[in-house]
Structure 1
Amino acid sequence: MLSQQLIQSPVFRGINAEEMEELLQKVQYRIRKYHKGDMVAFREDRCENLMIVLKGSVKGEMLDPSGKTIKIEDIMAPYPIASAFLFGQKNQFPVNVTANADVEIFFLDKQSVIELFQNNKTFLVNYLNSISNRSQFLAQKLLFLSFKTIKGKLANYILKQAAPDKEKIELPKSQAEMAQFFGVTRPSFARSLKEMEQEGMIEVNRREIKIRDRRALFSLMQQ
């Protein structure tokens, strides 16, 4: 049931299924289906709807100045897409959005979103929290992309995952998937990881990485 799916989304969290049913009766919405590889939105398309992934996942990608595709993130159900860009003077998609597999997306037009802001405080607070979280994520992503070398990006990632008190982390994805996340080729990613190990900064055992020289990792971030 649609209401059950939507109340799992961060923007509708705290609203029960009965309330959600009542809200849906008062607004204009639609559901669209996409197949794997379909383009959901192009960068700089106007963002005129609140879009929530109901099934499957999409990915946000952008091109760097050299034309290389950089994966920004995957957005899984039941999270919203580009909710921070629905309002503002330049309400355009910041990245290309592509379906990772078969996907269903809920569309709620901007005027209906405004009406829900006026009529439901829970939705308003959830939405503000959602776009604030997205802004913080994008700020961290920009910081990550600012590192000039693959090793610098790796060092930042490892230290962030380890926090101050951990000596080991586990990569959540395969090297090929991590390379895509870093916006580099798999051989380049693997070579940088190996060089850092040879230089005594880390120890690698499959997906597990153990920090050997935290100071050296911080130095890589300055290069």
Structure 2
Amino acid sequence: MFENIAGIGIFKGVEREKIALAFEQVRYQIREYEAENIIAYAGDTCEYLYVLLEGRVRGEMVNIKNQNVIVDDISAPNTFAEAFLFATQNKIAVNIVASTKAKVILLPREEFLKLLNLETQILENYLNAVSNRFVTVAQKLRFLTLKSVKKKLAHYLFGLARENKGKNYFALGKTHVALASLFGITRPALTKNLLELQEEGVIEIKNKRVRILDKEKLASY
């Protein structure tokens, strides 16, 4: 179990033996969920740090058309809902659903506080994780203001090009699932628009790497 936990961002830089010793001093539960089981509902009070040991979970919400929209896709080993844990209004914002069979540690808020006091590196990692989560939310809000999928892709690809200045090809940086989630669209819609951009000669995709061929046309979307 602690081999998996050591691979999670919150526990980065902490020796496996120290993690095991710290967990011996706190109370926690381990629960298993079948695929499509609800782990937590939107509006539930966030009382635990959720540590995903095995499997995959997703965050989803219902849009105005009464359709389920996936807003996050998380694979083990990882944590989820950590940003809500110490909020004044600590209500979970989305339904959390097991996408596959999943094994999850539920660490109560008070016990997690003990863990943070036991290992300052975990505290630093936790603050970093929460900060990164809010950066992601800010990025999603920015993309929601862009109306078309091609506009979203143009904004994202130009950002990657700036980060990889001087390189002809650059990695897309995220899986299609993660990128679709960031844009607030479905994965098929993302794939369709990427293929259209390639067919129109705007970009080239080769070995999971991208090259912008027509910057002027890409900027026009």
CA offset at residue 180 of structure 1?
Answer: 5.5
Residue 33 of structure 2 is aligned to residue 43 of structure 1: no
How far residue 203 of structure 1 moved from its aligned partner, in angstroms, is 4.2
**Partner secondary structure for residue 61 of structure 2:** strand
Q: Does 1:128 align with 2:130?
A: no
CA RMSD of aligned residues (A): 2.7
1:72-128 CA-to-partner distances (Å, cap 9, x unmatched) read 222111211011110111111122211121110111100011122233211111111
Q: What letter corresponds to residue 54 of structure 2 in structure 1?
A: K
Map 1:137-216 to 2 at 5 A: 137-162=136-161, 163-165=163-165, 166-169=167-170, 181=181, 182=183, 183-184=185-186, 186=188, 188-189=189-190, 192-193=193-194, 195-197=196-198, 200-203=201-204, 209-216=210-217
Change (3 A) 1:178 1:9: closer
Take 1:192 and 1:12, find their aligned partners in 2: how far apart are those partners?
38
State whether structure 2 residue 92 is matched by structure 1 residue 96.
Answer: no
Worse overlay, 118-127 or 161-170: 161-170
Whole-angstrom CA distance in 2 between matches of 1:141 and 1:73: 11
- Name the aligned partner's letter for residue 59 of structure 2: G
Which blocks of at least 5 consecutive residues in structure 2 are unaligned?
none
User: Which residue of structure 2 aligns with residue 29 of structure 1?
Assistant: 28
- Aligned residue pairs, count: 216
Question: 1:19: which partner in 2?
Answer: 18
Name the CA distance, whole Å, in 2 between partners of 1:25 and 1:147: 48
Q: Deviations over 1:114-164 (max 9, x none)?
A: 122233211111111111111112211222222111211222233334445
Distance 1:204 1:102 in 2: 33
**Contact in 2 for aligned 1:200/1:213 (Cα 8 Å):** yes
Mean CA deviation greater in 108-117 or 17-26: 17-26
Is 1:158–1:169's contact at 8 Å kept on the other side of the alignment?
A: no
> TM-score by structure 2 length?
0.82
Letter in 2 for 1:120: E
Judged with a 3 Å threshold, the aligned counterparts in structure 2 of structure 1 residues 94 and 196 are, in CA distance, closer, same or farther, namely same
| 114 and 54 in structure 1: CA distance in 2 versus 1, 3 angstrom threshold | same
Rounded Cα–Cα distance in structure 1 between residues aligned with 2:208 and 2:116? 44
CA distance in 2, matches of 1:44, 1:156: 33
C-alpha distance 121-199 of structure 1, shift in aligned 2 (>3 A) = same
Tell me the equivalent position of 1:69: 68
% of aligned pairs identical?
31
Q: Which runs of 5+ in 1 are unaligned?
A: none
